[in-house]
Each structure stands twice: as C-alpha cells, then as structure tokens.
A and B are shown apart, each in its own frame.
Chain A
Amino acid sequence: MNLTLYVWRQAGPKEKGRLVQYEARDISPDMSFLEMLDVVNEDLIRRGEEPIAFDSDCREGICGACGQAVNGTPHGPRKLTTTCQLHMRNYQDGDTIYIEPFRALAFPVVKDLVIDRGSLDRIIQSGGYISVHTGGVADGNAILIPKSDADTAMDAAECIGCGACVAACPNGSAMLFTAAKVTHLASLPQGKIEAGRRVCMMTEEMLRQGFGNCGNHYECESACPKGIRVRFIAKLNREFLKTRST
C-alpha cells in the first residue's frame, strides 16, 4: 500500500520544527508501524536526506521506548498497543497519517520524534522506591499477601513508563504514571510503610518537572498501552488523605 505521511521534523531541541510530507511506497500490511518508518528512512538515506529520528528498542511492546503520536493519538488507534506493535494492516492504501512526538512541556523534543522522558525517571527517583529492608527472597516469600492485593500491585506494575498518558492528557499531567507506581508499592506490605510520604514526594516532583495537574479527563487511561486504570489515581488520592488524617 502507499501512504502519505506528515512527519514532525526538528533538527534539535532549540530548533524550530515543522511537519514534512513524505510518501511511503510499497508498504506491506504485515509491517509494524516502525518498520514502515524504517522503509521510509531507507529511502531517505538513498536519496541522501537526513533520516527521521525516532525511538525504538524491544519492538515487542514491553520496553516503552517507542513514543509517537499517530494522528494525534499516542501509539496510534489500537487499544492496548504500542506503536511498535501497531501493524500497517490497520491502515488502507491512500491513507494520510500525521506522526508527531509526544507533546508536553516535560517532554522536550531531542530530535524529530525523539523526546527526553527523563522527567519520568526523576519522578521515580523522588519516591518510587522502598527504603525499608525487605530481606532476601526467602523473607519476601514468608510475607503473606492477599491475592487481590498482589493482583492490584501487578496490574499497576505493568506500566512501562512510555509517557503515553502524559502525551494524551490535555493538561500534560503524569498523574497516571505516578499513580501506577504509588499503587504498585502501596498495595504491598513493604511499600505501605512509606505510602503517604511517597505520594507527596512524587506528586510534588511531578509539578517541579513541568507536568500539569490531573483534571480527571481520563484520556490517559484510554491511551495507555498497558491498561493502567484511573482507579489507581483515586487510590493515590486516598493514600494522600490517609497521610493527612494521621
């Protein structure tokens, strides 16, 4: 199939970017979205032009490196799917596709579609850890955890930190990302101890990093390739209230 692409080209962090039109020729429906970009890049290299810079790593939907907004939707139109797992069979011959980097103040563009998501790392560094002694593996296994709590923690731990929630949020908020880590740790005995403090540290760092406030738009949940739920944000709020009331 042949497609018309409008791709965001930006030479560097300080440069002015713009959408540039490209034709993607002879694209197989079996290709992933990133493989389609590879084909376009090979063509650009052949013509002596600068290839489109974009992030990718595992290409199997688990690393969170790929981050492109496809027609304004982070990771494209398929639910629970990262861009690398989005296949071209979802498109038809002659389609026009807009490809842009994830947009947020806290995600500065490095080049073209590559963004700096270090701000998410700094939220984790501010409180997304456990500082109590958890002992060895045997000690961990000796602590009984209700199945439902373990399930909640695992569901929240599914977050791959791709930043789609931020990219989809009209407020550029990282609340779903933060809430996933808060819920993951606060659902387990070792993480409960610092739960309230963690909420304060992480949400304060979130604002410091230039993310917006959560306005309960729920766009994040819809865009999340890992199905992180906004009920974790409600959980974060409850943990905050618990700290304040004690």
Chain B
Amino acid sequence: MSLPASTVARKLLMAATGQLMIIFIILHVLGNSTIFYRTLNAYAAGLHALPLLLWIFRSVMLAAIMLHVFYGIQVTIENREAKPRTYAVQEYAASTFSSRNMIWTGTAIGSFLIYHLLHFTFQTIDPSTAAVTHPDAAGRPDVFAMVFAAFRRIGILLVYAAGLLAVWLHLSHGIQSSFQTWGLNGEKSFPYIKKGSRLAALILLLAYAAIPAAIVMGLLK
C-alpha cells in the first residue's frame, strides 16, 4: 500500500485522523469523569475486561497518530520550503497563534502523550503508586489512588498543565480546520463552526483540568 501524495488527499487524511483523535479525547474525558463518582477503578477494570476491543481501539489510535504525525511533519517541511522568506514587517490578519504553531503544539502533545502513557498506562514514572501492583479493597488495580497521588506532586501537575495547554491550542485550530477540509461548512455556518470549535476546545480543556483541580483543591478525597 502506498500513501497518497496529493495535497488534498493528505489534508483529508490529516483531518480524518485528527477527528478520530478528537473523538478519543471526548471519550477519554467522559471515562475519566467516573473519578467524580468514585467509580474510576470499576471503569478501568471494565475496560481491561474487554482486551480484544481495547487492543483494536489502541491499534487504530496508534495508526491514526502515526499517519497524523508523518503527514504533519511532511507538509510542514514542504510549507517552510515554499515560503523561504517572510516580510520585514509581518502582519497577520486571519491566522492565529494556534494555526501557525500546529507543528509545535503537536510536538508538545506527542511528548506529553509518551509521558502520559509511561505514567498511567505503563506506570513506570512512579512505581510506588502503580495501580497494577497496588490493588484496592475489591482487588482491582487502584487507579484512583494512583491518580490522586500523582496530582499532589507539583512537577507532574506542571507537565499535565503544559500538555493540556498544547491540546487546547492544537484543537482551537484543528476542529474547525477539519470541518473546512471535509467541506462540511457553508458560508453561513462557517463563522459558527469557527466559534463553536474554539468553544469545544475550551470546554475540553476545562473538563480535563477539572480532575487535577479537584484533587489539588481538596474536593476529591
């Protein structure tokens, strides 16, 4: 199988894989919200009770990430070459900080993702609180205690804050951009799609930030 080289096909693939990851981000925060109902351990155990589904899901996500990263780097290199020189006085009228820095927020998200997987999935960042080796009273991996312990450490909090900011910036441009790429917009709907996607990115940021915030503020014990 050869990967498409057409600029439109690559753009559509970037948008499709991005949208897949957006769906994951929404599902992930919904799953994480079980922490507020004290059912995080049951949710985690439930996921791991379906290993086939879990691994199919993980494989699809991994493929999407690899395509997104590959094309992201490829088009950025091409685009830099196409614009070797900028203006002495550079003024931007429509693009945003987030649209012009997708490669950097993307790099930050990629780095954060590796940390996040080592932290909560492979649990090698802080083995003393690893859920797999510390079961709760019901004998399930104590994910709640692991998350709780992690967000009481300032260093880890800062890493997650940086990761969330990068996701927020990336999605502020990415969501509406994917609508434009798939042509799912019209002249009238486009301004609303742009505002709506920025709002959606902000809501996701706040939803994710709610968990460490609740732990730090002592609302979750």
Contact = CB atoms under 8 A, between A and B. Distances in A.
Interface string B64-80: 00000000000100110
A145 interface: no
Contact of B6 (A73, A171, A203, A229): A203
Nearest to B189: A231
Given A217-B99, A236-B8, 20 more contacts: A72-B87, A72-B88, A72-B89, A100-B87, A103-B86, A103-B87, A105-B81, A105-B83, A105-B84, A169-B83, A171-B79, A171-B82, A173-B82, A175-B7, A213-B10, A213-B11, A223-B93, A231-B185, A234-B184, A237-B12
Interface of A: 6, 19, 69, 71-73, 98, 100, 103-106, 168-173, 175, 199-200, 203-204, 206-207, 210-219, 221-223, 229-231, 233-238, 240-241, 244
Contacts, number: 130
Interface in B1-38: 6-12
Contact of A199 (B8, B180, B181, B186): B8
A135 B94 CA distance: 43
B198 interface: no
Interface residues of B, number: 40
Contact of A240 (B8, B83, B99, B102): B8
A241 B99 contact: no
Nearest to B71: A213
A213 B12 contact: no
Given A170-B100, A229-B187, A236-B8, A219 B87 contact: no
A89 B180 CA distance: 37
Contacts of B89: 71-72, 98
Contacts of B102: 215
B88 A215 contact: no
Given A103-B85, A170-B83, A240 B78 contact: no
Contacts of A199: 8
B55 interface: no
Contacts of A219: 92-95
B190 interface: yes
A94 B177 CA distance: 41
15 contacts: A19-B88, A71-B89, A73-B91, A104-B82, A170-B83, A173-B82, A203-B6, A204-B6, A212-B82, A214-B7, A217-B95, A217-B100, A218-B95, A240-B12, A241-B182
A236 B75 CA distance: 19
A106 B87 CA distance: 16
Interface in B144-203: 173, 176-177, 180-187, 190
Contact of A212 (B78, B176, B183): B78
Nearest to B179: A234
B89 to A, nearest CB: 4
